[in-house]
Amino acid sequence: MSALIERDDNLYRPCVGITLFNREGLVFVGERLDGPGAWQMPQGGIDAGEEIDVAAFREMEEEIGTRSARLLGMIDEWIYYDIPPRTAQKLWNNRYRGQRQKWVALEFTGSDADIRLDAFSHPEFGQWKWVPLTTLLDYVVPFKRDVYSRVMQEFAPFARSLSK
C-alpha cells in the first residue's frame, strides 16, 4: 500500500516529457550539452494555457528541430520529481524544487536527417541516438530514474507494437 504525498504544485515547474519512438520501437535520447554523460528524452516547460499535446510538439521542434510525429498516447496524471538543490538554484533561483510532468508518447514519422539539434539558438543536446526503451535507466541521471521507470512501464506497449 502506498501513501499519497501532498505536493505544492507551485513548487514544481509544469513540464511536458516526450517519449519519441521510431518505426522500430526505439526511443530518442539526447546527451545534454550542459552535462556530458547525462542523456534524456526531450522535455520542456508548458506555457500558461497551453495544451499538453501542443506543448509536446513545440518542445520537440525546439529541441530536435522537427514536428514529424503522431501522438500515440499520454500518461494522464502528473509525475513529480525533485532536482538537486544546487541545480534548482542554478536553473530557477530556487523558485522550484523540481518539475511536474505530463508524458506523451509520439511515433516519429520523419527520417533521421530531419533531426537537427541546432535548429534553435539555444541547443539542449550535443548528440543523440535511438535506444531500446528497456535501457533508458542506463542513460538518465539518478534523480530522474523513478520518472523514467514509470514512463517505461506505461509506454512499453507502444515499443512492442512498433517493433513488430
pLDDT of 1 above 70: no
**Residue 121 has what DSSP assignment?**
S
Residue 82 placed within a domain: yes
Give the CATH number for residue 21. 3.90.79.10
**CA atoms in the 13 A half-sphere facing the CB of 64:** 30
Residue 152 placed within a domain: yes
Residue 1 placed within a domain: no
**Cα four-point dihedral sign 117, 119, 124, 126:** positive
pLDDT of 14 above 80: yes
Task: Give the structural domain span for 25.
Answer: 14-162
Q: Is the pTM of this model over 0.85?
A: yes
Q: Which of 42-46, 134-138, 144-148, 159-163 has the lowest mean pLDDT?
A: 159-163
Q: How confident is the model at residue 26 (pLDDT cuts 50, 70, 90)?
A: very high
pLDDT of 5 above 80: no
pLDDT digits (tens, 9 = 90+) for 94-138: 788 889 999 999 999 999 999 999 988 889 999 999 999 999 999
Please give the grid coordinates belonging to residue 37: 554523460
Asked if residues 93 and 7 have their Cβ atoms less than 8 Å apart, the reply is no
Q: How confident is the model at residue 6 (pLDDT cuts 50, 70, 90)?
A: low
* Percentage of residues of the chain with pLDDT beyond 90: 77
Residue 7 placed within a domain: no
Cell 509536446 belongs to residue? 56
Domain count, the chain: 1
**Residue 36 has what DSSP assignment?**
T
Q: How confident is the model at residue 85 (pLDDT cuts 50, 70, 90)?
A: confident
Residue 2 placed within a domain: no
Helix (H, G, I), strand (E, B) or coil at 87: helix
Mean pLDDT for the chain overall = 92
Residue 8 placed within a domain: no
Asked if residues 119 and 61 have their Cβ atoms less than 8 Å apart, the reply is yes
